[in-house]
Amino acid sequence: MKKRNNNKTFSEQLLYWYDNNRRNLPWRAMVGEKPNPYFVYLSEIMLQQTVVKTVIPYFLKFVKKWPSIKKLANADFQEISQQWSGLGYYRRAKNLHETAKQILKYHNGIIPNNKQILLSFPGIGEYTSSAIIAIAFGGRANVVDGNIERIFSRLFKIETPLKDSKHQIFDYSEKYLPLERYGDYAQALMDLGSLICIPKNPRCSKCPIIDFCEVGGDLSAKEYPKKGVKIKKPERFGLFYCLLNKNGDVLVTTNKDKGLLANMDVIPSVGWYEAENRFVEKPKFIDVKDSLFNFEWQIIDSEIVHTFTHFKLNVSIATSSIKKDLFLENSSFAKNYKFVKAKKLKDLALPSIMKKIIKQLEHDNIIKC
């Protein structure tokens, strides 16, 4: 077992490395400047379950269009959804907007420097609140994300699978907090996990804190954190309806404020979301009960598989066409559906699964974008 120095030295070595190797990220304050709490908040929401490389262009688009939390709060949510399209985990966009509105209404547009208040906002949990406190305000907070879990599981050679050792890792990391520069320290750990203590082939020879690490320089380092038994994701089967009018426009609906694709523009679908009436296999024909609007539908050949966090979705696509849009004159339909020109589909707030379906429909010359 390697002999560890005191915790102060640990943070000093890490911060020295960070001062010379920090990543230049658009939401980070330059050396000597104060952080922008709105930038920190926005980036942390976007970074939830999404990698930095993917987030950067979205972040830049958002701050150009809505440079302050006040402007974001006053924005039309449909426009926010469109800008968010493709980033995934769409509930985050709604939470982002709702929180911005609450901050404007109850806190004069100033992000609170108070963890309990931050935790009361939708979409902000333990990690995000701690990151905001430390990075935006320099407050003492233990910020532990996936990168940091990996670092401390290696530092202490934790044999327990990660899903069962998170509290242990949190306690260890709490003891290593420095006496100052909490925001820099948190970001230093994040950068270390992204640049040096990477998952598959950690670059131990370049690690500034290898003297503290139980597995540093050992081939076994890549085996940490320990993984439990990998559970195969369950499969679901969904039927998506592409209805065209005489002009080749596509029928679209906006999902309600709930579920996986909340507030996103989609084509109608059945059989994969609700617990009841869920398909047990890929549909070969369309049953009467599944025939949208009681129209005649034709299932086309497609091999689309879309992976969500907890399951895989096998996509089937059915097509049909109508000569007149009269059925939309029924108020109940008109309220929930609209026809959109195929060329305008890409301007909507489309989730990734819809983009895959549109690509398939284009490939089959069913729609022309």
Q: Are 40 and 135 in contact (CB under 8 A)?
A: yes
The token pair at 21 is 């190797």
Q: Is 159 a catalytic residue?
A: no
Q: Are 17 and 187 in contact (CB under 8 A)?
A: no
Catalytic residue among 33, 44, 214, 276: 44
Asked if the bond preceding 225 is cis, omega within 30° of 0, the reply is yes
Which is it for the CA torsion 137, 140, 142, 148, positive or negative? positive
**Alpha carbon distance 143, 148 (integer Å):** 8
DSSP E strand boundaries for 16-138: none
Residue 90 DSSP one-character state = T
Q: Does an H or E element contain 43, and which?
A: helix 37-46
Q: Which residues pair with 159 in a beta bridge?
A: none
Q: Which residues pair with 265 in a beta bridge?
A: 254
**Alpha carbon distance 264, 87 (integer Å):** 12
Residues recognised as catalytic: 44
